[in-house]
Amino acid sequence: MHTVFKRTLMDSYINRLQTNFNKFLKTKFYVNANQIQILTNPTDFYNHLKFKILHSKDRIFLSSLYLGKNETELVETISKALNSNPNLKVYLLFDGLRSTREKNFSSATLLSNLIAKHDHDRVFVSLYFNPSFNSSIWKDKLIPKRFNEIFGLQHMKFYGFDNDYVMLSGANLSDDYFKNRQDRYYCFQSTGLNNYYFRLHRLVSSLSYKLYPNKNSKTGFNLSWNSETVPEPIALNKRKFLKYSSKLLENFMNQEIKQQDDVKNKDTIVYPISSFVPLFHKYQDKSNEKISIMSIFNTIQKTDNLNWVFTTGYFNPIKSLQRILINSQVSNSHVITASKFANSFYQSRGISKDIPNAYLYLTYKFYKNVERNDKLDQIHIKEWQNGIIHQPNGWSYHAKGVWLLDQISKMPFLTVIGSSNYTNRSYSLDLETNLVLITTDTGLRERMNDEVQNILNYSEDIQLRKLKINNNVKILTSIFNRLL
């Protein structure tokens, strides 16, 4: 009877959350647990990508922050697939600033070579530039390329194949994400989800520049705005551009998806949630990620006997989320962030060398808030470390997400997977997309629990009581908090 009662509490939470979601989320998909695969490490991620690329017959669509400029093997795998399948088309979406950072040979150069080999009617490469960057007339003169990301980025990571398979992740397409950078990877065999993300890919691509090869250019490429309907987001056109992009995205997010197959026998629901703040007019944002994340934790306030795990490699959640985490009625919940030895900026050059300590300082401030609320026994703050990054066998940590667990089985029944770090930056500057997954299937919950345990296996309680942070780091962290 006790177990049944607790299960009823979990079901009650799910019902209340779905009721809340239905107020502002128009799109959801019903799937079965056997349609979902969870990968656990970078090598599996890379091998899975290459396998799906080689076996695609119709289309491949990849969205990421960037492609590493030395990822010739991945590009050659795409080229091989194009050679083997004459009907295959490839759609690639990356951030424009990150893809063109290097002066001579960049990832844009590598991609332009792929287009030249297979023609632009089979390979479509779109580079997104935040409209605030493009409309700034002084951007190139005053801001070094290494720091122009302050304007915002295309940060979505999803990878689709043919018309029935898509992977959501936080991982980009470069060497460390394929070898020694811990992330998360959820794969869905679902026509509905695949088509949803392909439409999102094409929509953001329509608001981006097109990449073309140019042998006469030092970089080997040109960028062109070749849309006759969308105004180019330069200084004089920014208002017109945002009017157009706002309308496109609002229509996309308000479109209710009618699932044709039988939903009664499905054990899992997934809700796409996204943040597109830079593409909406100011004060007219229709994004649904932030409100969804807050709804997940707000609903916990009315439910006992649930715990959560919250993780991000870059710990700086928005203040409202930090407050609701601390105020939640939990008994054994975890915050997991990267140790400074697992932060990819560890021992970097210039001002970025202070970034690991900046995130440590932000974690310390959260720790002190937990302590002031007498919650250190209920909310455990941990840091993830596997060796020391940039040294032999050292790993970095890039995973982000949320899991909700019931206290009886101690297994997750809900998770959030995707690109967001739940920061001010995520909700003001970057493009983000995630999925909320809710399941009642025991087997899938066990696999989700294995994922959590794999992360916890490399996590230890963070030692912050006697932490000393340089005053310069504190000042810089306060100044640049919105960008972290």
Residues belonging to the active site: 155, 157, 162
Residues in the chain: 484
For residue 384, give the amino acid letter. Answer: W
Report phi then psi at 427, rounded to 5: -105, 20
Q: Please state, in angstroms and rounded to a whole number, the distance separating the CA atoms of residues 356 and 307.
A: 28
**Phi and psi angles of residue 464, each rounded to the nearest 5 degrees, phi first:** -120, -10
Q: What is the DSSP letter of 255?
A: P
- Give me the amino acid identity at 2: H
CA gap 400, 173 in Å, rounded? 17
Distance (Å, whole) CA 124 – CA 164: 20
DSSP state of 257: P
**What whole-number distance in Å separates Cα of residue 306 and Cα of residue 355?**
34
Q: Which of 432, 436, 459 is nearest to 313 (CA)?
A: 459
Element (H, E) at 139: helix 139-142
- Within 13 Å, how many C-alpha atoms sit on residue 66's CB side? 23
Q: With beta carbons less than 8 A apart as the criterion, state whether 71 and 174 touch.
A: yes
Residue 271 backbone phi and psi in degrees, to 5: -115, 120
Rounded CA separation 438/436 (Å):
7
Q: What single DSSP character describes residue 303?
A: -
**From start to end of 73-122, where are the E strands?**
89-95
Q: Angle formed by the axes of helices 2-21 and 289-300, to 10°?
A: 150
Q: Is 390 left (phi over 0), alpha (psi -120 to 50) or beta?
A: left
